[in-house]
Every structure is written in C-alpha cells, then in structure tokens.
Structure 1
Amino acid sequence: MATFSQSTIDKGSDIFHDFFCSTCADEKLDNTANFYCESCVKFYCGKCIRPHSQFFTKHDPFGREDMKKWPVTKKVEDFLLKCDVHKDKNLEMFCSEHSELCCTNCAFLNHRHCKKVTLISDIVKSQSTDLQQLSISIQTILKEMKELQDNQEASIHYVQSSYDKQLSRIRKARREINATLDTIEQKTLKEMKDTLTKLQASIKSEADKCIRLRDELRQLRDAIQNISDKSKLELSFIATRKCEDKIEQYTTFLNTNSLQDKFYITFKPNSEIVQYLSKLSGLGRIEHGTKTLMVQENPNKVITVLRKSENNVKISSDSNNCIISAILVLPDRQVLVVDNKNNNVKLLDQQYQVVSHCSVTKWPYFICQITSSEVAVTVDDRNNKHEVQFITVNNRQLVQGRKLQLLRSCNGIAFNQGDLYITSLTALYKYKLNGKLVSKMYEDTSDDYTG
C-alpha cells in the first residue's frame, strides 16, 4: 500500500507533498521516496529501488522528474473532495445555475429546485480542465496577496509611528498650554505682590505720620506742664497755638483714618478662562487619512494598462488643436488640463467633459495644487512674460486670482510646505507664495533645457 506524508496544506505553506518509501515504512523507517511504481502501487527510496528493479525488470517506475504521474496524496484528496459546509460529505455534484460544487446534503437543501444539477462524474466526460494555467493564476494572486500583506503590515507600523509622533505633539501642546498658564499665573502673582507692596507702603506712611503726631503731642503736653510761671505770657501763647495746631492736624488725620478700617487683598478668578476650556472637546482635532507608502518595487516589473479612453476637450472658442501640457486631478476627482496651444486651463468633470475654462495671457505650461481648491499655473512666452497664474475652482467654475510676475522663464512648478519650486530653462528656483525669491537650488548650463 502506498504511504504518504502529511500534506503541507495543513501547515499553510506552498502545496508540495513528500512521500515515504513503502518498504522502509514496513520496517518503521521514514525515508523519503524517490520513485513510484504504478504496477506495484508502491513508493521506493533510492536504496530500495535497486532490488525492486532486479526482481521486476518489466516495471517502469517514475522518478521525481515525473511526479505528475504519481498518485495524489490522501490528504490532498480529502482537502479537495470534502464539502466545506458538511465536512463528513464528499463533493459529488455541480449546480450550473449557481456555479457551485455540492455534496448530497447541499444538493437537497439548497439546490433541489435547480434544473441543472449534474454529477461531477458525468461533467468530466465532456469538459476538460487546465490545472497548469490555474496554478499560474493562483501563484500570481498569491504573490499579489503577499505584497498586499506586506503593505498592510507596513501600514500598521506606519500608523503606529504616526500615532507616536502625534502623541508627542499632543504632549508638546499641553506643555505649551501649561507654560502659557504659568506665565499668566506669574503675571497675576506679580500684580498681587505689587498691590501688597503699594498698600503696605501707604499704611506704613500713615502709621509713621501717626507716630510723629503722637510724639509731637506728647512733647507739647510735657512742655505746657512745665510752664508754671503765669508771667511768661509769650511762651504760653506760643504753646497754646502749637497745641491747637497739632490738635487740628490730629483731628484731620483721624477723620481720614478710621479706627475700624482694615486693608485686605482679594483675588477674583477670570471665569472666562474656565468657561472657554470647559467648552473645548480636546487640545485639537484628531484626524486620519491615507497615504501611499513607497514600497520597494521590482524595477523589471511590467506595468499593464488596464484600459484607456480618448476624450475630446476642444471647446468652441479654441482656435487651434489642443496640446495638453499638464494634467492635475483634484481631491474631488475633477480634472484640470492645461491647453498650451489655446492658452487656457480647462476643468473636466468625472466623465471628462469640459465644464469650465479659464484663459491666460500667454502659453501655459505646468500646473500644481496649492490647496484643495486653488492651483498655480506657469505662463511664459520665452521673451517678456514670465508669470504664475493662481486659479480657484468654485462650484465647478474656474476663477482667476492673483498673478506673480517673475524675472526669468518659468516652466515646471511644484508646491511643498508653503514654498513654490519653479524651473526655468536651465535652473531650479525656490520662491515664497508672495513671489519673493528664496534661492537658486540648481543650475546646469551645459544645454538649453537642463532645468
């Protein structure tokens, strides 16, 4: 009896099956078979095939180079024949109406009203199969799925990396808020400290004045008590006037400084801060999106064009045949095309029909996206006119915006992180959005069009 090893189907790897030598198996040895004898219906290893060939000279065993002629393993048969729904049943019929393989249970439960349920044994008599082509197709799909899986795993790492990065930004935002609150707190504490200093200085000044008045009044009291000679009229008059003057000063001082008055400091929190913070749902918005990951591709991989279509974008005001020098797809899938020959930019809908156009002063060359609804187009006549024309897409209409006048030719254009990158004929320049030149990044004058 033929002996088979366990199929690697169970291990989830490529479908390849090893066979054990039948003779060695009888001796409890697991030696891989290298030959199969159809006459004996047995497998043989390299050692056991020699006595077999000596005894059975007319048998013609198949080596591993003819494994297509070897029998299918029991594991493979069970894997293919068993019904996916009813595991204890074999697939015996095929429903042409639903294009489904059926066991007897499936046929009775789901296809008893179908008119085209046929035994598989009858179908194979009239239909042929191309397993080799199917194998090639599956291998192609498996390769694509492996690439997809790798991309998904890379995406998992990428989203984790972006999470960690944004987490640090959240913590930075919190630190900035804390620092701002610390600054506000320090300003408030300084204001309260200044108020304390001011009040203490005022109170001390009044206290010093009170002490001075008391001392002066005591001195006057002691002085008048020492004037016993009634004949000293002038001295008594002076003492009287000084006492009356000091008593008047004390009365005025007492009227402005009540014995019940006590200075104090209070703090009234700015309720608007708490009210504003309580209305916030968080430190900022949490957004998510998709980004195409740059994966290592096979440089020899052939790109297959799935379909193509030709669309006429010429409009009634065009005087020349269209020459499309640049194409830009907006986030809402509207398409902008730059018609260099007719000096205009055209807006196409998702069916590639022209819905709006915008004329420019001279030959437009290239286009780049600034925002979700604004683009920039280079316009140049090689002599005097070197412009960047800004255009806004608003309700399926193109609206001209501002222009940047440049001092040199402008052809290619790109936008990144708030800056414009514009090529002339031989150089690459970096500009601000207001047209200010930042730097010349590259130049090659070895030819006319190196930029």
Structure 2
Amino acid sequence: MASNFESFIQRGCDFIHNFACSACEEDGLNTEAQHFCNQCTKYYCDNCVPVHNKLYKRHTVLDRKDVKKWAAAPGMVDVLERCERHPGEALKLVCGDHDQLCCHVCVAVDHRQCSSIQHIPDVARGIRKDPGFRQLPQQVAVLRKQIEDMKNDRKKTSSSLRKTRTAIVDEIKAIRKKINDILDKMEKTTVQELDRLVAHQEQSIKKDMESCTQMHDELKNIIDDIQSKDSSGEPPLYIGFRKCEEKIKHANEILQNMSNVVKYNITFRKHNGIEGNLSSMETFGELNESTVFDKQQLISLFPRDHVFGTKGYKEYNVKMSSDKDKCDIEGICELPGGEFVITDFTNMKVKLLDQEYRVVEHCDVPEYPFDVCHVGGNEVAVCVNNNKKKRHELHFINITKGKLVTTRKLSFTHECKSAAHHGNNLYISSHTALYVYTMTGQLVKKLYEDKSGDYTVRRIAISNEGKTIYITNYSNDQLITLDNLGNKLATFTDPDLLRPYGVHATTAGHVFVCCFISNTVMQVDKDGKTKLATLAREQDGVYRPKDLFFSSRSSSLVVGGEKDTLLVLNRR
C-alpha cells in the first residue's frame, strides 16, 4: 500500500505541479517545469529551456519521461512541501489551534499566540499505518472517477445543447419560411387586386376611346351626307339637319359624362401595421434557459412532505377562433422544452402551448380526446375514444418544428380514457380497470379492476421510480394507491375529495389531485394516506377541474377543466 501511495505522489496531482521552473520563479512566476538540467541542477519550463540550451549546449537536459532521474536542486523546496503563502519556505510545523500546516514565516507572522505548534516529523511518525493515509489513494481514485464522469456528463450535455440549438434554428427557419409564405401570399393577392383594378380602368378607357371613334365617324358621315345633298332640295337638307342635331346632342352628353372623369388613376397606401409590428419585434420568439435538477436534487430542495403553498394564480385563455364550443380540457402534459400539450374534448383538438400558455399550433383528432401523457422526447400519447363507434385508440403525436404530427396509433378492445408511461410500458385505464401494455401495444396484464362503479379508475399517475400507482376513484370519492403489482396500499377519502378526477405525481414524489364536484385542488402525501393541504378552491378560479400538471421548470401547478382558461397556481 505504501509503495502504491508513493507512486501516486510521484505521479503528482492534476491540480498542482511537482516542480516549478527555476527561471520563472526568479521572476515571481509559478510555472510547471518540463525539463531538468543535471549540471545546473535547475528546472525549466518549455519557454525557458530553449534559452538554457542555447547558452549551455553541452549540458544534459532531461525531460518528463526521465523525471525519476531528476534531482532536487540545492535549496530547492519540493512543491509538495512548499508553503503556498511563502513559496521559498518549506512546511516544517503544524498549528494544532488552527489545524494548519506552517512554515517558520507562517508561525512568526500568524501563529505567535498559538499554544499547539508541533514539528512535522514528530506528528508524521507512523503515518504509513494511519487508516486515513492508507485509504487516500482509493479516495482520490474515486474522486477522480467522479470528476471524469462529471466531465463526460457535461460533454454529453454540451452535445445535447448543440443539438437543441440546431433544432431551435430549424424552428426559427420554419417560422421565417412561414412568414415568407405569408408575405408572398400577401404580395400575390395585392398584385392580383392591382391587376384587377388596372384591367377595370383600362376597359373603361377602351370603351371611352371606342365611343369617341364612333361619334367622330358618325358626325363626319352625317355632315358629308348633308353636304352631298346640297343640290337635292330643302327636304333632304332639313332631315339631315335634324339628325345631325340629335347626333351633336348625343355626342355632347357622352363628352360631358366622359369629362366628369378627369383622369383614371390608382393609388396605393401601405398598411403601417405590417412594418410597425415587425419592427417592434427584435426576435422570432422568447428564448429561456433552464436548469433541470435530478430527482435527488429535487427531493433535497423540496422534501416529499413539503406543502406547496401558493402565492397567487393567473388564468390563460386557450380558446381558438376556430373553436365552435367552450373548451373542455381533459389532459395536460409538459414537453422537455417547457411547452405544454393539452387536449380539448368538446372541440376535438390537441393544442400546443408555448411557455407563456399561448396556443401556437393544434391538430384535429377524429374522435373525442381524453388524457395525454409524455412518452419521451417531443412525443406524447393521446387517448382517443368513442364508445358508440367502438373506437378505443392511443394516438402518438410528435411535435416537430412547431407542428403536431400523428406518427402511429394503437387500438384496444376496451375503452381508452387515461394513459401513463413508465419505462417501456404503457398504463391504460378503461374507467373500471387498469391495463399494462408494451410500447408496441402488446398486453402484459390487467393490473387492477374495480366494478363497484362506472368510473372507479378515472385517471392514473405513476411515481418516478415506478413502484407506486395512484388512481382516482371518481364513483366512490376515493384516491387509491397501488404498488406496481396491483396490490392496494391505501384508500384515501376527505370532505374536499368529491369526484376526484385528475391526479399527478411529480418527479420529486409529490402528489396532487383535482376534484370535479368540490372544485378543489389538493396535495396528498406520497403514501396516499394523508391530505397535506387544499391548495385552491372555486373562489380561486377552480371550476370543474379535470386534469393538472406540476411544472418543476416554473414551480407552477397548471389546472384545466370545463372552461376556456387554464388556471396556473404559482408556488409561494
């Protein structure tokens, strides 16, 4: 063990160097030496050794591969024994009062009043047998491994960050393309309207010119006829005279009408709002950075019995102009980037919200959408169900470049009203039973069933480690807690727990429930046995809630139900 430790010391630590450049030290610098001259008995760094070699061409200079042959220069203090405060002095003493290694200068300046000053050779006796000393190489090796792991983790995070940048740039370019497409369409429509107006005016001008030509020719012809009848007697001349007067009268009327139009013209006045709106925006959107804590960090920050007191709430409208009915939010989940996906039952839509809870995109679904859960990356799974049509499906929707695209779907023989994802399994509720499926739709088992009511398995949530499952029993006003084998662990009831609907378990182990009839949002302990707090009621804006989701990014609880707005409760 001692030899291993000596070799460890010989290799040196990653954070300090064993030998300092002698030339740099004379200039007050602390530079690691990479070379040693046996004749000069001095150390040199890469910058100083060329000067030495030029002056002393016959000296033998050793580099780092021969470090074992390096000798200590006279008067040189090894870096391990060097006092950091007084580099020219060696550490010879220990101050017991301050538990500090000292050189003679340290003692003279800072430790004159200390009563427990010991000589290091005295304290160091038997150090090789000290358990702490013997374990030191292993401790350092473990720590270095942790440092290396952290370095690799940060390297992966950096790579992920670059991929995120690429994805965001792609989204920005997609926005730019969409704006370009809108501008191209506006330009095309404006030019088409211009062409229509020009064509209309040109048609009017053409008619005027044709009328002028016709009047000109008719007047010329009739006056020529009159003049040719000059020798034919007065009756023909009289008839010509009267007809000519009619022509003149008609021509004057047409000219009068034409003269009312001084000239044909088209003007263009731009919409100032277009440039004004664009110039007022410096970016295509808001960029936010966030730090994601791991589970243990979250637990240390917010213990599992920590009550999330609320400091207030805000409501955000999620109704779209194309929505025909009042919104009915059945499902809520958050994407890794902070966007939210919600299901609107009455309008049969899946809506994408940005971090400010604004609807930025949507997709229609063929039947009524119920619950939605996050399954990984930017993919969610939406329960689509219609009992009359015997349509019980789970639609997988990928959010790519701001668009919601259905990639695949699974069909079931039973109802599909609620879904949760953990590991490689899907947990599907049929309102009275809970089933476990693989991601490809293969049935693993029926985990739990309760036929005492129509909605005994309304919604489900799974703890982060997958060992605990929470079920809202809507029919019997209960919160049921199961283990992952389907065994019932607890049944919770409370006066505020009237028709429990949505349930959510956070990464750190907190459990939230919303109740449809009592219009309440409450927090329950991780064991599902005790109410920790009723966080919000009807007077706080809770109305017929159906689902809720806690965002660790914003420390907010998002609640949706039978109204056009999402209720966002902010943590105190």
- TM tier relative to shorter chain: 0.5 to 0.7
Task: Say which SS state the counterpart of residue 261 (structure 1) adopts.
Answer: coil
Deviations 1:12-47 (A, max 9, x none): 89x9xxxxxxxxxxxxxxxxxxxxxxxxxxxxxxxx
Matches within 5 A, 1:315-326: none
Inter-partner Cα distance in structure 1 for 2:181 and 2:196: 22
> Contact between 2:504 and 2:512, CA under 8 Å: does it hold in 1?
yes
Find out whether 1:142 has 2:280 as its counterpart. Answer: no
Partner AA of 1:285 in structure 2: E
Task: Say which SS state the counterpart of residue 255 (structure 1) adopts.
Answer: helix
Partner AA of 2:274 in structure 1: I
Find out whether 1:402 has 2:403 as its counterpart. Answer: no
> Contact between 2:471 and 2:503, CA under 8 Å: does it hold in 1?
yes
Deviations 1:365-399 (A, max 9, x none): 96357xxx99667x9xxxxxxx9999657997234
**Structure of higher RCO (CA pairs closer than 8 Å, 6+ residues apart):** 2
Partner AA of 1:241 in structure 2: R
Aligned twin of 1:8: 11
Inter-partner Cα distance in structure 2 for 1:257 and 1:209: 10
Inter-partner Cα distance in structure 2 for 1:188 and 1:124: 91
Aligned twin of 2:123: 123
Task: Say which SS state the counterpart of residue 536 (structure 2) adopts.
Answer: strand
Task: Say which SS state the counterpart of residue 84 (structure 1) adopts.
Answer: coil
Inter-partner Cα distance in structure 2 for 1:279 and 1:402: 40
Structure 1: stretches of 5+ with no match in the other structure: 16-72, 295-304, 314-324, 330-336, 346-355, 380-386, 406-412, 417-432, 435-451
Deviation at 1:249, TM superposition (A): 1.5
Inter-partner Cα distance in structure 2 for 1:246 and 1:260: 22
Deviation at 1:186, TM superposition (A): 0.7
Deviation at 1:244, TM superposition (A): 0.9
Inter-partner Cα distance in structure 1 for 2:135 and 2:269: 83
Aligned twin of 2:208: 206
Partner AA of 1:238 in structure 2: I
**RMSD of aligned Cα (Å):** 5.1
CA spacing shift, 1:342–1:221, aligned 2, 3 Å: closer
Task: Say which SS state the counterpart of residue 90 (structure 2) adopts.
Answer: coil
Partner AA of 2:289 in structure 1: H
Deviations 1:257-288 (A, max 9, x none): 23992222222111111111111121101112
Inter-partner Cα distance in structure 2 for 1:90 and 1:357: 74
Aligned twin of 1:70: none
CA spacing shift, 1:282–1:5, aligned 2, 3 Å: closer
> Contact between 1:374 and 1:392, CA under 8 Å: does it hold in 2?
no
Task: Say which SS state the counterpart of residue 12 (structure 2) adopts.
Answer: helix
Deviations 1:304-356 (A, max 9, x none): x99xx99799xxxxxxxxxxx97879xxxxxxx989999369xxxxxxxxxx9
Deviation at 1:161, TM superposition (A): 1.2
Inter-partner Cα distance in structure 2 for 1:404 and 1:137: 52
Deviation at 1:164, TM superposition (A): 1.4
- Pick the aligned partner of 1:155 from 154, 157, 160: 157
CA spacing shift, 1:393–1:284, aligned 2, 3 Å: farther
Aligned twin of 1:90: 90
Inter-partner Cα distance in structure 2 for 1:168 and 1:6: 51
Task: Say which SS state the counterpart of residue 257 (structure 1) adopts.
Answer: helix
Matches within 5 A, 1:112-261: 112-124=112-124, 129-130=130-131, 131-229=133-231, 231-233=233-235, 235-258=236-259, 261=262
Task: Say which SS state the counterpart of residue 89 (structure 1) adopts.
Answer: coil
Matches within 5 A, 1:323-402: 343=478, 358-361=496-499, 367-368=504-505, 392=521, 397-399=535-537, 401-402=543-544
More helix by share: 1
Aligned twin of 2:107: 107
> Contact between 2:520 and 2:535, CA under 8 Å: does it hold in 1?
no
Higher Rg: 1
Inter-partner Cα distance in structure 1 for 2:478 and 2:260: 91
Inter-partner Cα distance in structure 2 for 1:289 and 1:253: 76
Inter-partner Cα distance in structure 2 for 1:257 and 1:326: 80
More strand by share: 2
Aligned twin of 1:287: 288
Matches within 5 A, 1:439-450: none
> Contact between 1:83 and 1:90, CA under 8 Å: does it hold in 2?
yes
> Contact between 2:230 and 2:237, CA under 8 Å: does it hold in 1?
no
> Contact between 1:368 and 1:376, CA under 8 Å: does it hold in 2?
no
Deviations 1:39-96 (A, max 9, x none): xxxxxxxxxxxxxxxxxxxxxxxxxxxxxxxxxx979x93421223333321112233
Deviation at 1:217, TM superposition (A): 0.6
Inter-partner Cα distance in structure 2 for 1:357 and 1:135: 60
> Contact between 1:389 and 1:404, CA under 8 Å: does it hold in 2?
no
- Give TM-score scaled by structure 2 length: 0.43
CA spacing shift, 1:281–1:108, aligned 2, 3 Å: farther
CA spacing shift, 1:167–1:80, aligned 2, 3 Å: same
Structure 2: stretches of 5+ with no match in the other structure: 1-6, 19-70, 308-459, 465-469, 481-493, 524-532, 552-560, 563-572
Inter-partner Cα distance in structure 1 for 2:505 and 2:472: 15
Aligned twin of 2:403: none
> Contact between 1:326 and 1:338, CA under 8 Å: does it hold in 2?
yes
CA spacing shift, 1:113–1:207, aligned 2, 3 Å: farther
Task: Say which SS state the counterpart of residue 259 (structure 2) adopts.
Answer: coil
CA spacing shift, 1:179–1:89, aligned 2, 3 Å: same
Partner AA of 1:193 in structure 2: D
Inter-partner Cα distance in structure 1 for 2:267 and 2:511: 55
- Percent identical residues: 21
Deviation at 1:227, TM superposition (A): 1.5
